[in-house]
Amino acid sequence: MMTEMHVSRLSLQKAIGSFLDELSDVRLASVHTVAAYRRDLLKFMAHCGADVGVDTISRTQIQDWLVACHASGLAASTLARRLSAVSSFFDDAVRSGHCKSNVAAGIRAPKQPRRLPRTLPPEQTSALMQKTDRASDKRDLALLAVMYGCGLRVSEVVGLNMHDINLDQNELRVLGKGRKERIVPLPEGAVAYVQAYLSERGAGLVEEETEQDQAVFLNKYYGRLSIRSVQRMLKERAVQTGADVSVSPHRLRHSFATHLLAGGVDLRAIQELLGHASLGTTERYTHLDIAKLTEVYDKTHPRARKK
């Protein structure tokens, strides 16, 4: 005969704090992931109250909160993310013995429109790689060659350290989402840009810094380049070279994947290069390719034209 689960009374505020600590210290989630969970769960706590017991929250309260969020004009993707955060929180609360069941389980997230990733045509990426008179031109060219040539996330490229680069083997060691490491090949063209940048990078570095601590891409103060700086550099470079000003680091990553797919590279190989945990995430690029083919067909095929 099964005994009834013992539930220890804990306020919502303390339970959320405990969950976020575990997410960061035990599950080793990224800073961005923890921050996203914190924002969503604090919104939920504002709706329910900080001092209410976790075990007293009902399914109806969660549904009412989502309805209120929807009424405020939030997108379906935001509602789905908030529901996911609350559901993960209650999963942890059940495991920790703070409530008997996950009251968010089974609540359906609003249907989201399927959005295809935006890409840049090859001539636009070539325009970005034109030389400029910027003082940081060698660094910027090397960064672009690595980010686009390896399909890296912007957080991955600014997180590169000197010991992650192996120019003898033309490889990079990349720390991706969930702190998972992967090895990606560095294209020959990118190697030349990286070598040109590294030849002038050393000036100004303090001797006490060890190779383990040194970021590859530095700002003018010899500190690690920030994500915001890379985003700003791309926009400024696009204006200066005549490239598409809507360019972004993630759009370059999408372009890398789409161009590989168009070149006949296997989807599994693209998944490994991008560091996707699920093949389903990578499969978005097949839909993008089909959408592009359909667009070309509609514009050019005589049978597609209406009389």
Residues tagged active-site: 153, 177, 250, 253, 276, 285
Cα–Cα nearest to 91, from 41, 48, 49: 41
Cα 155 to chain centroid, rounded: 8
Determine the Cα–Cα distance for residues 153 and 147; give it in Å rounded to an integer: 7
CA distance 227 to 247: 14
Surface-to-core class of residue 59, CB atoms within 10 Å of its CB (0-12 exposed, 13-18 middle, 19+ buried): middle
Residue 175 — φ and ψ, nearest 5°? -100, 110
- How is 8-27 classified by DSSP, letter by letter? ---BHHHHHHHHHHHHHHTS
Residue 183's DSSP bridge partners are 173
Whether the CB-CB separation of 99 and 93 falls below 8 Å is answered with yes
Q: Is the CB of residue 12 less than 8 Å from the CB of residue 50?
A: yes
* Alpha-helical regions (H) of 12-135: 12-25, 31-48, 59-71, 76-95, 122-128
Q: Enumerate residues 6+ apart whose C-beta is below 8 A from 246.
A: 118
Q: What does the block give as tokens for 254?
A: 């999408």
Determine whether 5 is exposed, middle or buried from the number of CB atoms within 10 Å of its CB (0-12, 13-18, 19+). exposed
By the 8 A CB rule, do 305 and 290 touch? no
